Chains A and B, each alone.
Chain A
Amino acid sequence: EVQLVESGGGLVKPGGSLRLSCLASGFTFNRYSMNWVRQAPGKGLEWVSSISGSSNFIYYGDSLKGRITTSRDTAKNSLYLQMDSLRPDDTAVYYCARGSSLGTYTPDYWGQGTLVTVSS
């Protein structure tokens, strides 16, 4: 069974940093691309970043570009999102999502999400 479990969310002050983690299980981690997707309160889904299975390709959305770094560790079956210079409008639930089995980045399985609140 595919499982994705995010952690690392919480309350952070504007300008602060957070590192989100996503622990994957139930599939061969390095064979799949992975994504971060966020959802602000009451809003729709917003793609944040994608990373290929080999980490050779990493893509970032415009909203957070320059302030985030996506990485993965195959040995730990884990995906990471380092977020810096956080702003109040970065407040959202951040989801980890696996890329589809066809090798594209479009998500199939999603984690339960971790809430990031940016407030003073």
Chain B
Amino acid sequence: QSVLTQPPSVSAAPGQRVTISCSGSSSNIGNNFVSWYQQFPGAAPKLLIFENDKRPSGIPDRFTGSKSGTSAALGITGLQTGDEADYYCGTWDNSLSAVVFGGGTKLTVL
């Protein structure tokens, strides 16, 4: 059971938009920055979003992050088949003194 809650899977058609949610509490998302990671099968996770809504260099602006209260979200617009991957949210938890991750969301582009 992950500390952060994500939907196990989401799907949408090419060109459409999808949102992946990440729900936590005041000890984690509520008081810390959230990051999002993209992971392809057999590969290491890659940072997509940091500090809730910032993109590292090289990440297209089709990927956006947001946070409100104890929840965060990753939005992906103009979906491409190459976006099919697992997506994880992560942050620090002040009560656990631990990095916590969501259980991951598998994105399928139909």
- List A residues at the B interface (Cβ < 8 Å): 35, 37, 44-47, 50, 59, 61, 95, 97, 100, 102, 104-113
Contacts and interface: CB of A to CB of B under 8 A. Distances in A.
Contacts of A59: 97-98
Nearest to A46: B101
List 7 tightest A-B contacts by C-beta distance, closest first: A47-B99, A44-B104, A45-B101, A110-B44, A44-B103, A108-B47, A106-B35
Interface of B: 2, 32-33, 35, 37, 44-47, 50-51, 56, 86, 88, 90-92, 97-104
A109 B86 CA distance: 17
Contacts, number: 67
B31 to A, nearest CB: 11
A107 B35 contact: yes
Q: Most chain-B Cβ atoms within 10 A of its Cβ — which of A35, A45, A100?
A: A45
A112 B86 CA distance: 16
Contacts of B99: 35, 37, 47, 50, 105-107
Nearest to A93: B44
B50 A108 contact: yes
A109 B44 CA distance: 10
B90 A106 contact: yes
Contact of A45 (B46, B50, B90): B90
Q: Most chain-A Cβ atoms within 10 A of its Cβ — which of B92, B100, B103?
A: B92
Given A95-B45, A112-B44, A45 B104 contact: yes
Given A37-B99, A102-B33, A111 B47 contact: no
A44 B2 contact: yes
Nearest to A101: B50
A107 B44 contact: no
Nearest to B46: A110
